Structure formats: structure tokens, C-alpha cells
Amino acid sequence: MVKNSIVDGIIVVNKPRGLTSFDVVSKIRRAVGQKRVGHAGTLDPNVDGVLVIALGKATKLIDEFQARPKCYVGDITLGFATETEDLDGDIIAKQSIDEPFTDESIDTAIAKLNGEIKQMAPMFSAVKVNGKRLYEYARAGEVIERPVRDAFIHDYHRTSPITYQDAQQKFDFVAEVSKGTYIRTLAVDTGRQLGVPATMTSLTRIMGSGMTIEQATDLQDILVLEREALLKLIIPIKDVLTWPTKELSDNEWFAVKNGQKISEWAMNDDSAYLQLTYHGDLKAVYAYDIERNLWQSRYVFTNES
């Protein structure tokens, strides 16, 4: 790796299928020439689309990026299920659909999955139980109780006619979902509503961490760029955050750079977070503690003037 000056910000990658999210991080790390690189929101190898890569100080914000809604498009096939809930796994159940479900029946099943729902973690996932990831148990053939998570489905609906072939039905969908949603499991849950096995047979993330597919650059295009051209794709931290901004006075900057809590500032009705700048440079983000009626450090980007 060539040592370069540290770059802070994000780059929005259109991840191809066949690579893990960590594969993408490794390639971007080499291309930019720095170690401090991470990603927000893992994409399975067989899923393509938006993967936000954080560089330098932006890695502090990964939890914030991951909390933002995500949007996917894909297709679901009714009539069979796999161990991984997508096409990567072996088929574990099949059921011929001799009498096709009506459009109304499928749309009703989908509608029931909008709003607040509970989902069981897929066996082939990275969720940890007793110190081991679920996929490790699955590969060892061990059966274990899986955790159930809350999720919020903002908008899930069908976007294509329903096809019927070989005693199976298939349709396209779009789904905007909260953090923590198992998008593969949404297909399984749809089948469960109808009483048949189902599988996510194609999936693309078109929005992640507030970034859309239109803002993404294909990974293969990024990797052939010279470093200076690559740097032009990087979005600065201040352009990613949407919280109100406060310019600090000299005395306020002294308090902030020393990590002091601040009670003098009024609560902002629009946001519980404030971006703090000094001489126009973003220095930190403070969060409002409503119980203690004060502002305190949430993210610190630099203590240097």
C-alpha cells in the first residue's frame, strides 16, 4: 500500500455481485492508500448495489450511516425455499402452486408486512449467539434458537405483473426498510403469509445510508482511476450530515476541544444533534441529553485548531 495523506469522507460504490463488502473495503483501501476504511451496511455477495465506504474520520459515523433507511428492488419466487433464503443455498422445501394466487392475495400478504414487524434472524447470517455467528452453527449442522428482531418496513409493494411457470409464481418488488431488517427474510415472510415456501431470487440495494444508486460509481470504474481522480469522488463529511450547524466562538471551541459538556446552548427543536464548526471547519458533533439538560460530545473529528 502506498502511503498518502489521510482522506476523510465517503465514497458511494455500486458493488457488483460476487464480492463481499469486506472485499470492496480492501480494494478501496489499496486504491486510496490508507488503512482507515470501513463500510456502512453489509451487502451479501450475491447482492449488488449501493455500498457506502467511509474513509478516515468518517468511519466514526458508520453507526449513524447504518441507522438511515435502505431501499431495495428485487424479485421473489413462491414455491420453494432454500437454507440461505436466497439462491446461494440448497433447496430445503418445495411446494407446487397448482392454482396460482391472485394478484389481490399476494398484494394482501405484502401489505401485512408493512409497518412494525418481527423477524427471525436467518441461519446463514453474521448474527452472533453465544459468541458464534449463526452461519457457523449452520455450516456445522447445529440447530440453535435464533434471535428475533424488531424491524420497520416503510414501504413494501409489488412492482411487476405476477408470472406463473413450472408451478411457481414470481414478481418484482421494492422495499424501503429500517436498520436491522433481514431483507431476504421478507421473501420468506411473504410466503409464510400465503402458506407456501418462498425465496429471494434477486436483490439490489438502490439506496443505503441516504445515498442512492444514481450517486454510486461502479467499483470497476473506481479501481482504474488515478488517485487524484478518485479523490474527486469522495464526499466530505460536512456534505453528508444533515444536522444543524453551529459556528463556535473561541471560548466555545476551547470547551469543545477539551470534551466539556455545555448547558448554555438552547435545545434545538429540529434536531438533538449539532454540527460544530470553528473557522468554518467541522470539528465535532454534540448531542443533547434531555434528562440532564445539556449538550455533550457525540463525535469528535479533530481537536486541532
Q: Where are the domains of the chain?
A: 9-67+210-238, 70-204, 242-300
pLDDT beneath 50, residues of the chain: 1-2
- 9-67+210-238 folds as Pseudouridine synthase (3.30.2350)
CA pseudo-torsion sign 70, 71, 73, 79: positive
pLDDT for 1 equals 43
Same CATH topology for 9-67+210-238 and 242-300: the answer is no
What region does 259 belong to: left with phi over 0, alpha with psi -120 to 50, or beta? left
Expressed in angstroms, the distance from the first to the final Cα of the chain is 30
Domain 242-300 top-level CATH class: mainly beta
C-alpha–C-alpha distance, residues 235 and 184, integer Å: 30
Residue 189 designated active-site: no
C-alpha–C-alpha distance, residues 40 and 38, integer Å: 7
pLDDT for 3 equals 53
| Complete DSSP assignment for the chain | --------EEEEEEEPTT--HHHHHHHHHHHHT-S-EEEES---TT-EEEEEEEEGGGGGGHHHHHHS-EEEEEEEEESEEETTSBTTSPEEEE---SSPPPHHHHHHHHHTTSEEEEEEPPSSS--EETTEEHHHHHHTT---PPPEEEEEEEEEEE-SPPEEETTEEEEEEEEEE-TT--HHHHHHHHHHHHTS-EEEEEEEEEEETTEEGGG-EEHHHHHTS-HHHHHTTPBPGGGT--S-EEEPPHHHHHHHHTT--B-SSPPPSS-SEEEEEETTEEEEEEEEETTTTEEEEEEE-----
C-alpha–C-alpha distance, residues 202 and 292, integer Å: 48
Instruction: Report pLDDT digits (tens) over 227-265.
Output: 889 999 999 998 999 899 999 999 999 999 999 999 999
Among residues 8, 23, 44, 221, the one annotated as catalytic is 44
**Which CATH code fits 70-204?**
3.30.2350.10
